[in-house]
């Protein structure tokens, strides 16, 4: 199925080139839209396809922007509208008009209706919040801890840094790597069993965007501690306060930053 999209892009390119040679802005407009659609969908051949929501946004933007572009000059704008006007008004376009109005448009409306009402067993699309807002304070095994402004106390202990990192590494491979992966890339053995899959720690858009206090809170409380504002939020993260001490959580936090070359947000 995916292989059809480069063909669609090629058809779009062909329409674009021919319409430029024939000086037809209307078909140029359609050709460019087809080309953009084909190219965006072809991304799925090399990596994960763009989600439907993003495709809709990109295509809506393209329609809006191209319409803007083709209406800058009067002659182009008139030529863009000319085929539409001709189909709607010219006597010699009666058959085409009938085909469009009585066949194509009802078929399209019928397809949209069918698509809307056909049985669908997929769970509904859900919006994801990448970074749920942290709580101000938590109770860690009965001890109140203020999360806002909290810093990793082990960072000040330069003398024992190597030992703490080693301990953090051990904790990671005993507790976290099954889901978050051997390479801290979110591709652990169990990762594909979850939706969404566990986040990677590598890269610039997870722990690199967050202060260590946030990471501490997420490890300690897991899915149970997520704030109401973050729902619906699917997370299978356990509450590690049941298994790890405060000191151990700070050690593993230290390790995941160090191992990925990231620095906590300050």
- Give the nearest distance from C-beta 228 to other proteins in angstroms: 8
Q: Which of 8, 10, 30, 50 binds other proteins (CB under 8 A)?
A: 50
Q: What is the CA radius of gyration of the chain?
A: 28
Report the residue number, 98 or 224, with the smaller CB distance to other proteins.
Answer: 224
Task: Identify any residues that bridge with 139 across adjacent strands, giving them in sequence order.
Answer: 144
Per CB under 8 A, the segment of 23-31, 86-94, 159-167, 201-209 that binds other proteins is 201-209
The reply to whether 263 sits near other proteins by the rule CB under 8 A is: yes
User: Which of 92, 95, 158, 195 is close enough to bind other proteins by CB under 8 A?
Assistant: 195
Nearer to other proteins, 96 or 235 (CB): 235
Closest by CA position to 66, among listed 30, 21, 16, 42: 30
Task: Give 190's strand partners.
Answer: none
End-to-end CA distance of the chain: 46
Q: Which two tokens stand for residue 20?
A: 């430029």
Query: Does 26 help bind other proteins (rule: CB under 8 A)?
Result: no
Q: Which is nearer to other proteins, 123 or 142 (CB)?
A: 123
Nearest one of 58, 60, 81 to 71, comparing CA atoms? 81
Site string for other proteins, 216-245 (x = CB under 8 A): -------------xx---------------
Task: Count CB atoms within 10 A of the CB of residue 46.
Answer: 8
Is residue 146 part of the contact set for other proteins (CB under 8 A)?
no
Select the residue interacting with other proteins from 49, 83, 222, 238 (CB under 8 A). 49
CA dihedral 179, 180, 181, 186 (to 10 degrees): 110
CA distance 188 to 102: 55
Q: Which two tokens stand for residue 140?
A: 């860690």
- Binds other proteins (CB under 8 A): choice among 10, 30, 43, 161: 43
Nearer to other proteins by C-beta: 142 or 229?
229
The CA-atom distances, in angstroms, between 257 and each of 22, 168, 192, 210, 215 are 59, 10, 23, 11, 10
Q: Name which of residues 110 to 129 contact other proteins (CB under 8 A).
A: 122-123, 125-129
Closer CB to other proteins, 84 or 103, in the complex: 84
Span of 3-11, 14-22, 110-118, 192-200 interacting with other proteins by CB under 8 A: 192-200
Query: Which residue in 7, 61, 101, 109 binds other proteins (CB under 8 A)?
Result: 61
Where b means 16+ CB within 10 Å and e means fewer, 132-162 reads bebeeebebeeeeeebeebebebeeeeeeee
Judged by CB under 8 A, does residue 57 bind other proteins? Answer: yes
Bridge partners (DSSP) listed for residue 143:
140
Please report, as ranges, the residues that interact with other proteins according to CB under 8 A. 43, 47-54, 57-58, 61-62, 64-65, 68-69, 71-74, 77, 122-123, 125-136, 148-149, 186, 192, 195-200, 203-206, 208-209, 211, 214, 229-230, 262-263, 265-266
């Amino acid at each position: 199925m995916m292989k059809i999209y480069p063909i669609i892009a090629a058809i779009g390119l062909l329409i674009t080139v021919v319409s430029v040679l024939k000086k037809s802005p209307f078909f140029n407009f359609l050709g460019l839209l087809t080309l953009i659609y084909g190219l965006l969908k072809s991304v799925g051949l090399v990596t994960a396809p763009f989600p439907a929501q993003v495709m809709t946004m990109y295509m809506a933007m393209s329609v809006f922007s191209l319409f803007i572009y083709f209406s800058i000059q009067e002659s182009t704008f008139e030529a863009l509208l000319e085929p539409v006007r001709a189909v709607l008004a010219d006597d010699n376009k009666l058959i085409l008009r009938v085909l469009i109005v009585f066949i194509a448009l009802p078929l399209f409306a019928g397809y949209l209706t069918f698509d809307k009402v056909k049985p669908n067993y997929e769970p509904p699309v859900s919006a994801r919040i990448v970074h749920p807002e942290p709580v101000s304070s938590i109770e860690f095994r009965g001890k109140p801890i203020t999360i806002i402004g909290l810093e990793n106390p082990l960072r000040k202990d330069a003398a024992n840094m190597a030992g703490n990192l080693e301990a953090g590494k051990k904790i990671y491979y005993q507790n976290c790597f099954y889901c978050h992966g051997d390479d801290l890339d979110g591709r652990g053995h169990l990762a594909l069993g979850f939706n969404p899959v566990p986040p990677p720690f590598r890269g610039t858009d997870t722990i690199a965007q967050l202060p260590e206090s946030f990471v501490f809170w997420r490890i300690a409380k897991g899915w149970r501690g997520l704030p109401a504002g973050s729902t619906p939020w699917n997370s299978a993260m356990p509450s590690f306060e049941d298994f790890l001490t405060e000191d151990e959580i700070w050690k593993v936090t230290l390790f995941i930053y160090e191992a990925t070359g990231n620095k906590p947000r300050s």
